[in-house]
Amino acid sequence: MSESPILLTPGPLTTAIETRRAMLRDWGSRDPAFIALTAELRSRLLQVASGEGSHVAVPLQGSGTFIVEAAIATLVGPADKLLVLINGAYGERMVTIARRMGRAVEALRWAEDRVVEPGKVAEALRADPSITHVALVHCETTTGILNPLAEIAAVVAAAGRGFLLDAMSSFGAIGIDLSSVPVTALLASSNKCLEGVPGLGFALVQPAALERAVGNSPSLSFDLHAQWRGFETDGQWRFTPPVQVVAALVEALRRLEAEGGPAGRLRRYQENFDTLWAGMRRLGFALFLDEAVQAPIIATFRMPADGRLEFRRFYDALAARGFLIYPGKLTQAESFRIGCIGALDRRDFERLLEAVAEALRTMEVAA
């Protein structure tokens, strides 16, 4: 088996060997040992966001999109209307999901390099009393932009609407305090800032919202109310759980606690980002975003305008040196992305920068 590459991606990402080792055993899904592991998982997920007193954790098999789909199908009822605040591809995906689920949905859009503006959200909610729920992507992974969560949550709560937060690429690193920020349901997955392996999403939901949502979902599998009732009834998953993924995520959550929780993790990611950005700037690259709105989660770099850097060749040159970067996802500009998250530190980024410099030399791009 060859050595794992360094993943500079927004997930799946580089995981600690201890996290991967936690998968080296079999678990009976209905055995007390696994029921206890599931209980630990649910309680640790709440702890990360101080949600023990206000929310319940509902894990669901699948990738991050699955939990977003389940949350919209369950919490936005057939007579409700969702307003999605969009400044990137993951916001657009929520509109697609709502339409497929047959839900009424509206979109409010900003450019990909602009944050969502709380004032405009308040206006939209005043203008349309039929909107019952608002959805926001916390860190839009399309660019790495960080939306002003506390301000938007306050506007939505003041207007008395439900609030769905896609915190997929922020949860575990950017502190979210559910005991003070009003969020109906927070959605995230195992394989981003929690540094687990892929295969599981979860919702941290206000139980009253789940109780109201009984029978809402048109889907058997994507039904967070039924999934929640399952856990509350016998501590078990309704359908086959990804047992190894759960074991790895519990280990990853213990490691998060040992690192000092989200604050400790953010310090490491910020150092990763600062190292990366300083080095890339020296090599002549420019960030797509203004630094004031950039989260230290994933950096989007503009393709140099001279056209001599071709993504595929650049990717291959870095891959040959053990580093996997990520293509851009912008609608308007040529770009590529480098993730700062995962079990990596400043030294990994220093080595990456050496590899980028070498790749540029071999590609004969003047750096």
Ligand X SMILES: *Cc1c(COP(=O)(O)O)cnc(C)c1O
| Residue 185, number of CB atoms within 10 A of its CB | 28
**Closest approach of ligand X to the CB of residue 343, in Å:** 17
Which residues, other chains included, contact 116 with Cβ-Cβ below 8 Å and sequence gap of 6+? 85, 87, 108, 110, 136, 147, 148, 152
Of 33-41, 57-65, 174-182, 322-330, the segment contacting ligand X by CB under 6 A is 57-65
The DSSP code for 292 is: G
Residues 71-100 binding ligand X (CB under 6 A) are 90
Closer residue to ligand X in complex, CB, 13/356? 13
Closer residue to ligand X in complex, CB, 85/137? 137
Closer residue to ligand X in complex, CB, 149/317? 149
Which residues, other chains included, contact 187 with Cβ-Cβ below 8 Å and sequence gap of 6+? 64, 67, 68, 71, 164, 165, 166, 167, 168, 201, 202, 203
* CA dist 263 → 44, 252, 297 (Å): 16, 16, 14
Report if residue 300 touches ligand X, rule: CB under 6 A. Answer: no
The DSSP code for 366 is: -
Among 8, 60, 131, 137, binds ligand X (CB under 6 A): 137
Would you tell me the crossing angle of helices 149-158 and 118-127 to the nearest 10 degrees?
A: 20
Q: Give the 3-state secondary structure of residue 312.
A: helix
- In this structure, what token pair is assigned to residue 349? 């980024």
Among 14, 61, 65, 275, binds ligand X (CB under 6 A): 65
Q: Are 330 and 112 in contact (CB under 8 A)?
A: yes
Closer residue to ligand X in complex, CB, 90/222? 90
Report if residue 141 touches ligand X, rule: CB under 6 A. Answer: yes
Closer residue to ligand X in complex, CB, 35/89? 89
Contact letters (x/-) for ligand X, 154-193, by CB under 6 A?
Answer: ------------x-xx-------------------x----
Ranked by CB distance to ligand X, the top (closest) residue is 64
Report if residue 69 touches ligand X, rule: CB under 6 A. Answer: no
Report if residue 10 touches ligand X, rule: CB under 6 A. Answer: yes
**Closest approach of ligand X to the CB of residue 8, in Å:** 15
User: In residues, how long is the chain?
Assistant: 367
Contact letters (x/-) for ligand X, 304-343, by CB under 6 A?
Answer: ----------------------------------------
**Closest approach of ligand X to the CB of residue 363, in Å:** 29
Closer residue to ligand X in complex, CB, 329/356? 329
Closer residue to ligand X in complex, CB, 64/262? 64
Residues 225-244 binding ligand X (CB under 6 A) are none
The dihedral formed by the CA atoms of 258, 262, 263 and 269, expressed in degrees to the nearest 10: 100
Q: Are 323 and 358 in contact (CB under 8 A)?
A: no
Q: Are 45 and 204 in contact (CB under 8 A)?
A: yes
Dist. CA 10–CA 103, nearest whole Å: 29
Closer residue to ligand X in complex, CB, 118/201? 201
Residues that bind ligand X (CB under 6 A): 10-11, 63-65, 68, 90, 137, 141, 166, 168-169, 189
